[in-house]
Structure 1
Amino acid sequence: MVRRNLNDLLSFVTVAREGSFTRAAAILGVTQSALSQAISGLEARLEIRLLTRTTRSVSPTAAGERLLQAIGHRFDEIEAELDELSELRDKPAGMVRITCGDHVLKTTLLPKVAPLMHKYPDVKVEFDVNYGFRDIVADRFDAGVRLGDTIDKDMIAVPIGPKLKMAAVATPDYFARHPKPKTPEDLTRHTCINLRFPTQGGLYVWEFARKDKQLNVRVEGQLTLNSTPHIVQAALEGLGLAFLPEEEFAPHIEEGRLTRVLEDWCAPFDGYYLYYPSRRQPSPAFSLVLAALRSQETPGRKRRQPGLLSREEEAG
């Protein structure tokens, strides 16, 4: 039986998944030249080209795609089995990769995970801040964080925070020059800051609800952004009305830098969930992270008064 070099096969799988020798080399901890030589050697031994290389991208050939589908998941299974061996150790160990937005990372994920990392130094966590909807299976994440109504049905979803509310805000100076809107329809006569979804490319339609009535409003303005922190900053600069989950604006509302309007039209909705594939057996390290995120209290975080709940979105 001829023994293959599994390191070369792992190199191929990583390059094919990442679509980049640079990213694959960083993941594997090798130089790009060594990685290129490994792939070239594998192709020479198999006498078939596995990757198509251009100056801008790397993609599998038909043969490469077949090989990737045949062996890629097996490396995942090996990695999962090695992670599970940490159960036999005194201290759990392993890497957990989570994709999320930056606000929920700052306000919820880091505060909850930090105590666990102090307690278990061999547990490593990588957070990928991304405003698009990542395919966590294809991109080899252990989990992602999204609002509850955007999660695919085949995922396990675990709530990690309270219900949220949206908030429409602008600076006091803006409202000194423009009348405050009394109904969502009034927003069509205001300058508003639009949010463009990174993945879908469309503009967010502002959604309001009061009692049994729901209203969706397409707003207009000079500025469009695709990340929530920049929308907050734009609102503080007086560039118009902004509409995001209220915790994005909470400290600025409390300190008078922003004024909230249409609060009675902003009903609570399901907050953030950690989601992960139902068919994947969680590793011991992931189980610890999951347990930490399930906790209702966020360490070091004050309870807000009713009417100032918490939130964020990766508009993505």
Structure 2
Amino acid sequence: MIETSQLQTLVAVTRAKSFSKAAEVLGVTQSAISQSIKNLESKLEIKIFKRSGKAVILTSEGEKLYRLGTQFLEEMEETLTELQGDRDQMQGKVRIGTLTGIGKTWLAKEVVWHAKENPELQLSVRMGHQEDLLLDFEANKIDILILPEDDVPLHGEKEFFMEEKSTLVIPREMKDVYFNTKLTLETLEKIPTILFEQDDLLFLKWCRSKFKATPKKLNVRFSVNSHGHMLQAVSEGLGIAVVPNHVLNRSYFKDKVLTLGNEYEVPSGKLYIVYHKESENLLRIKNTIDRLLSHRDTFNT
């Protein structure tokens, strides 16, 4: 394997056309220069330099190696400069991952403003399923994650972001029909209900928080794995549903459905920001996390 120092020696001798002058440039002895070139020639089994009067010039094989060496050293210098700049400046890539609902209703909009304020940053938002996001995080394809507490990976630094809330939403025309009296678990079992798929964990968590139990059966009218389409179904009078506050507050259907006030709004889980330990001192990562934390109050509103 060719060593970087050997390429540096090769380039220096080529440019100086002299072993002694190259030694002065690199701050080493002439014998060290000679030995480095000799070792390189022996390793590659080629002749790199030939004499031309008092100067040394490249052979045809040496010319090819010189082009490789100059390109490699220039790219290495650019990369090292970029890495140093990335640490102390707001430039470079920041890749953020989160669940689709959080990304669409809140995160993507916040990142747009962050990108506008920091034109040197290359920002990207990845929205998807928890399993895919964790795989990409482990493979260093994502720098920052925002996930529910139960989905947070074991490896990585985490910081509490906020507690998400959910609320019961009802069709406008159903308010007087079903809610003249206090809502109980028994009445809930009879009301047409819209679920996030058949196993709606958010709905069940809401029931446990409100009634300390879950329904034995439900009158399921419609199920769809999209909170936005659930709200559409509620607005069309198909039934009631439980949705995250941040989805409701940014939905087109916000004014087409009703809630029953704070009494029916419950905590539904904690969200955490997760990042790689080795990136915590990078300015672009730290400032992006600070930005998200400083704007978390807008998440549920």
Q: TM-score surpassing 0.5? A: yes
Distance of 1:160 and 1:130 partners within structure 2: 19
Distance of 1:278 and 1:209 partners within structure 2: 38
Q: Which residue of 2 aligns with 1:229?
A: 228
Distance of 1:241 and 1:117 partners within structure 2: 38
- C-alpha deviations, 1:219-266, integer Å up to 9, x for none? 441322222222222222222111012232246799752122485354
Distance of 2:122 and 2:142 partners within structure 1: 13
Q: Which residue of 1 aligns with 2:171?
A: 171
Preserved CA contact (<8 Å) 2:161 2:296:
no
Distance of 2:189 and 2:207 partners within structure 1: 17
Higher relative contact order (CA 8 A, sep 6+): 1
Preserved CA contact (<8 Å) 2:158 2:273:
yes
Q: Which amino acid aligns with 1:92?
A: M
Larger radius of gyration: 2
Q: State TM-score, norm by structure 2.
A: 0.58
1:107-118 aligned within 5 A = 107-118=105-116
Distance of 2:186 and 2:153 partners within structure 1: 32
Aligned-residue RMSD, C-alpha: 3.9
Distance change in 2, residues 1:153/1:216 (3 Å): farther
The sequence identity of aligned pairs, in percent, is 16
Preserved CA contact (<8 Å) 1:98 1:142:
yes
Distance of 1:212 and 1:239 partners within structure 2: 23
Q: Shift in Å at residue 140 of structure 1?
A: 1.8
Distance change in 2, residues 1:106/1:142 (3 Å): same
1:1-316 aligned within 5 A = 1=1, 84-87=83-86, 91-133=89-131, 134-135=133-134, 136-138=137-139, 140-161=141-162, 163-175=163-175, 178=178, 182-196=183-197, 202-204=199-201, 205-208=203-206, 214-217=212-215, 219-250=218-249, 256-261=255-260, 264=263, 266-268=265-267, 270-278=269-277, 281=280, 283-296=282-295, 310=300
Q: Shift in Å at residue 295 of structure 1?
A: 1.0
Preserved CA contact (<8 Å) 1:210 1:267:
no
Q: Shift in Å at residue 94 of structure 1?
A: 1.3
Q: Which runs of 5+ in 2 are unaligned?
A: 4-78
Q: Which residue of 1 aligns with 2:24?
A: none
Preserved CA contact (<8 Å) 1:208 1:215:
no
Distance change in 2, residues 1:185/1:137 (3 Å): farther
Q: Shift in Å at residue 165 of structure 1?
A: 2.4
Structure number with the higher helix fraction is 2
Distance of 1:270 and 1:83 partners within structure 2: 40
What secondary structure is seen at the aligned counterpart in 2 of 1:157?
strand
Distance change in 2, residues 1:182/1:152 (3 Å): same
